[in-house]
Amino acid sequence: MKKLINAADAVLAESLAGFGKAHADLVEVSQEPRYVIRRGGGRPGKVALVSGGGSGHEPMHAGFVGTGMLDAACPGEVFTSPTPDQMIVAAEAVDGGAGTLFIVKNYAGDVMNFEMAAEMLDGESATILTNDDVAVESSTHSQGRRGVAATVIVEKIVGAAAERGDDLAALKALGDRVNAASGTMGVALSSCTVPAAGRPTFDLGPDEIEMGVGIHGEPGRRRETIRPVDALVEDMFRAIQKEIAPEGEVLLLVNGMGGTPLLELYLVYEAVAKLCAKEGLTIARSLVGNYCTSLEMQGCSVTLTKLDAEMKTLWDAPVHTAALRW
């Protein structure tokens, strides 16, 4: 295993320390328990948005803490759920007296621990569960579809609505709506290596890919031989189309898994754009880059979200975080 680390068990503490220093104008980092909050903590009267999950998906979620997006993020160990105590302390640190909204990707450990935190937390809370991955119905770590890259879109849109003062019930409904309007499918060209494991999560032959891969390297729909990207993207596009039946305007997120050159991600964008044109869809908004990664995995995911006027306004609203800013 070759990694830019000192020791497997120090990865998270040291990386988070660097993140905190690099973005000291935006965030505060706590190591015990581990969480990242907006500098200055909660805003009185504002619903607090709290997310989290296993590390290894950076910039998700700590990179989305800041104005117009998350109030707090709780990173677990790599590909491991954070604990309820992290969530509770983080939620308390950003409490504005208007309730807490948890944004949780659908994995058994995350669901269980965030549920426990919600029960133990004083004050009102609600949870948005993202499950945008259309590849498989259930998976290694999830009952039902996995939550993947559309979580970024949920966090951005709901974050903007929270910033303008929407209440907890409205935000919960909005987040559920964005999640339901979104579909994602991923493909892996290589595995990644969890530092504590020291070897690749799975093995792929020199010409093999995993179509429908999960962001922890979970199996997808099939192991197959690599084909031209237009063909791969068409399979991903059709799978998403079948689930969300897009019409009119969409948001397109072409997400790198961590080890894919930007040159290729824009090529994927072009492949999706050609399909959208053929289907009469307008890519009204888009995002291309590494947002919901799987360490150094090579591959990408494609997310489509059906847009309405409100979602567009909220997407365009100012955001100031380490990883998204406009």
Annotated active-site positions, please?
57, 216
Q: Between 40 and 206, whose beta carbon lies closer to a copy of itself?
A: 206
Q: At closest approach, how far in Å is the CB of 256 from a copy of itself?
A: 9
**Tokens 């809370």 sit at which residue?**
125
Which of 16, 74, 150, 160 is in the footprint of a copy of itself by CB under 8 A?
16
Which of 113, 125, 190, 255 is in the footprint of a copy of itself by CB under 8 A?
190
Candidates 32-40, 81-89, 113-121, 224-232; binding stretch for a copy of itself (CB under 8 A): 224-232
Candidates 7-15, 33-41, 116-124, 240-248; binding stretch for a copy of itself (CB under 8 A): 7-15
Residue count (the chain): 326
Say how far apart CA 143 and CA 148 lie, in whole Å. Answer: 14
User: Prior bond to 61 cis, omega within 30?
Assistant: yes
Q: Is 313 in the site for a copy of itself (CB under 8 A)?
A: no
Q: Between 92 and 221, whose beta carbon lies closer to a copy of itself?
A: 221
Say how far apart CA 120 and CA 115 lie, in whole Å. Answer: 9
Say how far apart CA 305 and CA 64 lie, in whole Å. Answer: 19
Residues numbered 106-145 forming contacts with a copy of itself, rule: CB under 8 A? none
Q: Is 197 in the site for a copy of itself (CB under 8 A)?
A: no
Tell whether the torsion through CA atoms of 154, 157, 161 and 162 is positive or negative.
positive
How many of the other CB atoms lie within 10 Å of CB of 64? 26
Q: Can you give 154-193 as a three-state secondary structure string?
A: HHHHHHHHHHHCCCHHHHHHHHHHHHHCEEEEEEECCCCE
Q: Between 92 and 223, whose beta carbon lies closer to a copy of itself?
A: 223
Composition of the chain by helix, strand, coil, percent to 5: 35, 25, 40
Backbone torsion region of residue 40, taken as left when φ is above 0, otherwise alpha when ψ lies between -120 and 50, otherwise beta = left
Binding track, positions 235-264, relative to a copy of itself; x by CB under 8 A: -----------------------xxxxxxx
Candidates 18-26, 118-126, 214-222, 240-248; binding stretch for a copy of itself (CB under 8 A): 18-26
Which positions touch a copy of itself (CB under 8 A)? 2-7, 11-12, 14-19, 21-22, 55-56, 58-59, 63, 78, 187, 189-190, 192, 206-207, 209, 226, 228-230, 232, 258-271, 273, 283, 286, 288, 290, 293, 295-296, 298-300, 325-326
